[in-house]
Amino acid sequence: MSNPKYNINTRIVKVFHEDGNQASIPPIYQSTTFKADSIDSLSTNNYDYTRSGNPTRTTLQSHLASIINCKHTWVVNSGMACLDVILSAFLKPNDELIAGEDLYGGSDRLLHFFERKSNIKINHYDTTNLELMKSKITKDTKLILLESPTNPLINVVNVKEITSYAHKINPNCIVVFDNTMMTPLLMNPLELGVDIHYESATKYLNGHHDIMAGVLACNNDEIAKKLFFVINSTGSGLAPFDSWLLIRGLKTLSIRLEREQENCMKLANYLEKLNFKVRYTGLKSHPQYNLHFSQCKGPGAVLSFETGNIKLSELIIKNCKLFSTTVSFGSVSSLISLPLKMSHASIDPKVLKERNFPQDLIRLCVGIEDINDLINDLDNAIRLAKRELNAKL
Ligand SMILES: *Cc1c(COP(=O)(O)O)cnc(C)c1O
């Protein structure tokens, strides 16, 4: 139930639900079936089978609609399931789609699966180049997939301008925005005009790296209906227990993200002082700092930096003790990765080369630990890495 009179930090904590027993938090309805009132009607609350609807999932969806401030939300099994549902619902053979060059590796893999299987035409462009985008969007553009800031290159896309141009050229063009990096707390893509906002709740929304989930949000009834048709038909709706865990994880989203951003900002300053090329929208040195803050309320907690030497990057990662070496982000604990060999390994190396993807790029996903420990860990790792590298020369 949307309650716009509360601010977002309150809406995140306040979960509306009715269970009949005055429980303080929503219970889990683990049941797959719901008894009908009679053979020609459903149960009193219209539930019959959990693939189609479940009260715990409904509570989560209403809660997310309140946080995002939108009309419809659906929760599914993963962030990738969101994109799968969207592509299945809206694309036919020979349809044309535009996506960015620096898009999430898993999205790239799924798009190209659809290209091979269903003959969808996929064009990758530099979405940060507004003039280029305007020259490429045509009446035949059926769907545009945007992300901002992109990850790990931290490029910013002018969401409002691209979306309004696309809708002017083709009013039926569906503009889709992957908001995993910013979360509803820092960005509201629907307010910038996009048709569908989705994000991986595996990351910040849940925040503890213990469930996979995805959220789809929109304001248009027809779009919502089409999305639900696919979710119900395929059974990608989020399980009751995972829905319940996500309701719990969400409650601390704003304090987690606040601390993570604060830590990330300090790490960005520290790395910039060491003369690494740091990519982070919180830094004034980011070329699209103003554009970013015209559409977002904060810089987020993911940064990347180049060391100038792929061996040095690998050694830094190897020598970190507090930063775990793993993919993903959005958890309370800090992570470090080499995107080229990890999250982006599913993208063709030839394509990465064409897109000038820096091989030595390290990505940091910053958690809520004590900042002094994080800086010390990185400092030690950099020192040891340089020593090991010099010993090899
Ligand atoms: C992780 C991620 C996804 C995919 O989400 P899963 O929950 O892992 O399926 C999509 N987009 C972005 C930007 C991501 O970081």
Distance CA 366, CA 349 (A): 27
Residue 270: name the closest of 378, 370, 368 by CA.
378
The residue contributing the CA closest to ligand 1 atom 2 is: 200
| CA 80 – ligand 1 centroid, Å | 6
Compute how many other C-beta atoms are within 10 angstroms of the C-beta atom of residue 133.
22
For residues 60 and 359, what is the distance between their CA atoms, to the nearest angstrom? Answer: 40
- The pLDDT assigned to 4 comes to 54
Work out which ligand 1 atom sits closest to the CA atom of 180. 13
Question: 212 CB under 6 A from ligand 1?
Answer: yes
DSSP string, 46-105: S--BTTT--HHHHHHHHHHHHHHT-SEEEEES-HHHHHHHHHHHH--TT-EEEEESS--H
Catalytic sites, residue numbers: 51, 104, 178, 203
- Gap between the Cα atoms of 148 and 178, Å rounded: 8
CA 201 to chain centre: 7
pLDDT at 102: 86
Rounded to the nearest angstrom, the gap between the alpha carbon of residue 53 and the centroid of all alpha carbons in its chain is 24
Contact 335, 364 (CB under 8 A): yes
Q: Residue-wise pLDDT tens for the chain (393 aa)?
A: 455 589 999 999 999 998 889 999 999 999 999 998 888 777 667 899 999 999 999 999 999 999 999 999 999 999 999 999 999 999 999 999 999 998 898 999 999 999 999 999 999 999 999 999 999 999 999 999 999 999 899 999 999 999 999 999 999 999 999 999 999 999 999 999 999 999 999 999 999 999 999 999 999 999 999 999 999 999 999 999 999 999 999 999 999 999 999 999 999 999 999 999 999 999 999 999 999 999 999 999 999 999 999 999 999 999 999 999 988 899 999 999 999 888 777 777 888 888 788 999 999 999 999 999 999 999 999 999 999 999 977
Place of tokens 């080369």: 353
Pairing assessment for the beta strands 96-100 and 72-76 based on DSSP bridges: unpaired
CA of 274 to the centre of ligand 1 (A): 31
Closest ligand 1 atom, residue 81 Cα: 9
Pairing of strands 335-337, 361-365: antiparallel
Whether 253-392 and 22-250 are alike in CATH topology: the answer is: no
**CA 256-261-263 angle, 5° bins:** 95
Q: How far, in Å, from the CA of 82 to the mean position of ligand 1?
A: 9
The C-alpha torsion from 321 through 323 and 324 to 329, rounded to 10°, is: 180
| Binding site membership of 178 for ligand 1 (Cβ less than 6 Å) | yes
At 218 the three-state DSSP class reads strand
**For the chain, domain boundaries:** 22-250, 253-392
Among 82, 203, 245, say which to mutate for ligand 1: greatest number of ligand atoms within 8 Å of CB: 203
CA of 197 to the centre of ligand 1 (A): 13
Q: What are residue 177's DSSP bridge partners?
A: 146, 197
Q: Ligand 1 within 6 A of 127 CB?
A: no
For the domain made up of 22-250, give the CATH fold. Answer: Aspartate Aminotransferase; domain 2 (3.40.640)
CB 213 within 8 Å of CB 75: yes
**What is the pTM (predicted TM-score) of this model?**
0.95
Is 106 a pocket residue for ligand 1 (Cβ < 6 Å)?
A: yes
Protein residue with its CA nearest to atom 8 in ligand 1:
79
Q: Per CATH, is 253-392 categorized as 3.90.1150.10? A: yes
Q: How far is the CA of 72 from the centre of ligand 1 (A)?
A: 21
Of ligand 1's listed atoms, the one at least distance from the Cα of 147 is 13
How many alpha carbons fall within 13 Å on the CB side of residue 359? 9
Atom of ligand 1 nearest to the CA of 151: 13
Is 206 near ligand 1, meaning CB less than 6 Å away?
A: no
Q: What is the DSSP string of 239-262?
A: PHHHHHHHHHHHTTHHHHHHHHHH
CA 125 to chain centre: 20
Assess contact for 3 and 12: CB atoms under 8 A: no
